[in-house]
Amino acid sequence: MFQPQYFGTYDSDGTFDPRMAYETVRAASEFLTSGEFRDPWTKDELVPRNVSMPLLVAHSFGTYAAMCALISGLTFDRVAMFSPMLRLGCHSREDGLVLDLYRHAERIATVYPFTHRSPGVSDLVRFFTEDRVTWPIPSLTGGGHRPAFGVFAGGSDESLNAKRALEASRTMIEDTFGGELDVALIVPGGMHGVDTLLENDNDGIIGGFLEERS
């Protein structure tokens, strides 16, 4: 597992500015595709170039970063997105976000002062409510590797309108990669957390998608 830290968190440089999500993913992806990610003992390349990896999993605003990763040279067989938010800024409300963003930003700034270096509550709120964030993903229809996409949202999610989130995700994925969305599911009883979506996956649809062998 490769799990980089976002810029502005823990020991990384910078501030925890949502604009840096793409930059973090870009930098990590360039490192992974450079051939320099090696076993320190055997010196073997851990992520061979031009090889598709089995699964990419993303949650909430991390789904935006995951989509950014797909233009950086990394390829995956399957992409699982939980509680998806594929666009940021003023578009987030259109795509189903119902979270109280001011309270959320205030919580980040006050609860995590040592692990998340916030640029300030007002800047965070402005980013999520006013800024017109450019989605940095060109259309990839008609060429290149297309992963299978599974998008899952909770029917009881208090932060996200599940129906609107799935429809927005469907439109963006299909417009960018072509073809139809492979799996889309609203999980009755599921909330925003991945654990609640898995716990309420009574028909095993999510589990089947995650365990599928290409």
pLDDT exceeding 70 applies to what percent of the chain? 74
In 3D space, the residue among 115, 83, 117 whose CA is nearest the CA of residue 99 turns out to be: 83
For the residues of 170-210, what is the DSSP string, one character each?
A: HHHHHHHH-S--SEEEEETT--SSHHHHHHT-TT-HHHHHH
If one counts every other C-beta atom within 10 angstroms of the C-beta of residue 13, the result is 9
pLDDT for res 141: 53
Which of 61-70, 98-107, 113-122, 204-213 is modeled with the greatest confidence?
Answer: 204-213
pLDDT for res 198: 96
Task: Give every CB contact of residue 164 below 8 A, 6+ residues apart in sequence.
Answer: 94, 95, 96
pLDDT for res 170: 92
Which residue's entry shows tokens 């969305």? Answer: 181
In 3D space, the residue among 212, 152, 145 whose CA is nearest the CA of residue 186 turns out to be: 152
pLDDT-based confidence at 48, cuts 50/70/90? low
149: three-class secondary structure by DSSP? strand
94: three-class secondary structure by DSSP? helix
Mean per-residue pLDDT, 106-121: 72
Rounded-to-5 percentages of helix, strand, coil across the chain: 35, 15, 50
Q: Domains of the chain, with CATH numbers?
A: 20-135+146-211 (3.40.50)
| Cα torsion 92, 58, 119, 31: sign | negative
- Please, how many CA atoms are within 13 Å of residue 131, restricted to the half-sphere of its CB? 16
Summarised one tens digit per residue, pLDDT across range 49-71 is 666 778 889 998 888 878 877 76
Write down the mean pLDDT value for the chain: 79
Beta strands in 18-111 (DSSP E): 53-59, 76-82
Summarised one tens digit per residue, pLDDT across range 164-199 is 999 989 988 888 888 889 999 999 999 999 999 999
- Report the predicted TM-score, pTM, of the whole model to 2 decimal places: 0.77
154: three-class secondary structure by DSSP? strand
